Structure 1
Amino acid sequence: MKSVKVAVVDDHELVRSGLVQLISSFEGYEVVFNAPGYDETINKVQDGFIPDLILVDIHMQGKNGHDVAEWLNKNSPEVRICALSMFDNESSVLKMLKNGARGYLLKSSSCIELKNAMDSIMEKGYYYSDLLTGNLLHSIQNGRTGKDRRVELTDKEIEFLHYACTEMTCKEIAAKMYLSPRTIDGYREKLCEKLQVESRLGLVLYAIKNRIVVLGEC
């Protein structure tokens, strides 16, 4: 069986070397390169070291993980991106999703969760931890997807979900939809209740899981 080629990008050498050693111990995975930042990553890919999966630290000095993801999404869209972060930050998640990330993993995650995340991204195309998805992930794991629960969305609700997948503020979404900010807040609250999620991030992940929006195009 062909091994999955992995790259690791992190500006902390100890973290990077630890991830390389750990991933190299996983059956079916091989690390093809590791890099401390944006320039080194782009140079490696341009030199032909193209991984199947890349783990990228979001918060690096200079050009960060968002920049790496944006470049890969435009120039090597076949590379699956998993973002790594110390923080559960909604705006960072949204920005990485916009730039084509298939997964988002906290650095506090266990070795087992890292392996599960990599397996999921390669097999299913996505992975989002329980800490980030809350009730959404539980409903997915239990087989209660939007289709199973017969959740019907109006055209306006679908339009709102598309805008929610961007970095636009509620005020900006309201202007796009020719509605008041208060009405938009109402849409968000009702959709969260309707779809059994707890936040805008939950709405975004629901939209991606149910193919209402496509990764990298929101």
Structure 2
Amino acid sequence: MQTSPSPIKVALVDDHRLFRKGMAELINGFSGYTVSLEAENGKDLTSRLFPGSLPDIVLLDISMPVMDGFETALWLQEHHPEIRILALSMSDDTETVLRMLKSGVDGYLLKNADPSELRMALEAVERGGSYYTGNVVEILKKDLKGLHQPETQLNEQEVAFLKLACTDMPYKSMAPLLGVKPRMVEALREGLFRKLEVGSRVGLAVYAIRHGIYKEQ
């Protein structure tokens, strides 16, 4: 007798109970998926994870008290790298996307997405791929295209700039640390955009992370 495959287990991590309940009802209605765990924040999640009953996917809110989505994603990468992470947010601004990319998430979904898009995102990350929505898609289409190019030769100043680009520091604050005038920071940025074939700060950061120039402390 042929048995049905076990459903994909999803953990919901969000500090809004009503939102969690609505998401749980939605996901439980998807064939092949079940919500196996609900947590109010990252710390609550970590206390509920046990060997043998780990979720396959964590649907992770970003803005939460106690332990936010950034911290939680980093913790999951260190302790349970086999768990796929789908970030959930109301924001698709560059800085938030940049930080979540550094945290190692497998997808990024806006909270106002249609249920059909949620299903597509879950399927994508469950298969080992990634899923990005809204403006994030356009950013990554443009910025990731140069990552498969041969290694680009960078000078010491360009490497130092890339490391700073991976932080939350504004461009205008980089000049003293680089030992250059503010105008030179702009020149460095534009030069790296051309050399690395990327179009934004996210692209610079992704290049630096993928090539080992920047590593999370």
**Per-residue CA distance 1:28-59 (angstroms, 9 max, x = gap):** 32221111223321111146531121011111
Question: If you compute each CA radius of gyration, which structure gives the higher value, 1 or 2?
Answer: 2
**Aligned residues with identical type, % of pairs:** 39
C-alpha RMSD of the superposition: 3.4
| One-letter code aligned to 1:28 | G
Paired with 2:65 and 2:185, the residues of 1 have a C-alpha distance of 36
In structure 2, the residue matched to 1:188 is 189
**Per-residue CA distance 1:44-99 (angstroms, 9 max, x = gap):** 11465311210111111232222222322222222222211112232222222222
In structure 1, the residue matched to 2:92 is 88
In structure 2, the residue matched to 1:146 is 146
Paired with 2:19 and 2:208, the residues of 1 have a C-alpha distance of 33
Residues 137, 110 of structure 1: alpha-carbon distance in 2 compared, 3 angstrom cutoff: farther
- Within the candidate set 48, 69, 73, 1:69 is matched to 73
**Per-residue CA distance 1:92-126 (angstroms, 9 max, x = gap):** 22222222222222111222222222222233432
Paired with 1:109 and 1:214, the residues of 2 have a C-alpha distance of 34
2:46 aligned with 1:42: yes
Q: TM-score scaled to structure 2, two decimals?
A: 0.75
Q: Give the Å deviation of 1:180.
A: 5.1
**Per-residue CA distance 1:125-183 (angstroms, 9 max, x = gap):** 3222241242542787xxxx3378x6873324677545533445546766776655543
Paired with 1:166 and 1:129, the residues of 2 have a C-alpha distance of 23
Q: Tell whether the 8 Å contact from 2:43 to 2:66 is kept in structure 1 after alignment.
A: no
Q: Tell whether the 8 Å contact from 1:56 to 1:83 is kept in structure 2 after alignment.
A: yes
Residues 102, 174 of structure 1: alpha-carbon distance in 2 compared, 3 angstrom cutoff: farther
| One-letter code aligned to 1:153 | T
Q: Tell whether the 8 Å contact from 1:133 to 1:202 is kept in structure 2 after alignment.
A: no
Paired with 1:191 and 1:133, the residues of 2 have a C-alpha distance of 21
In structure 1, the residue matched to 2:211 is 212
Paired with 1:212 and 1:2, the residues of 2 have a C-alpha distance of 38
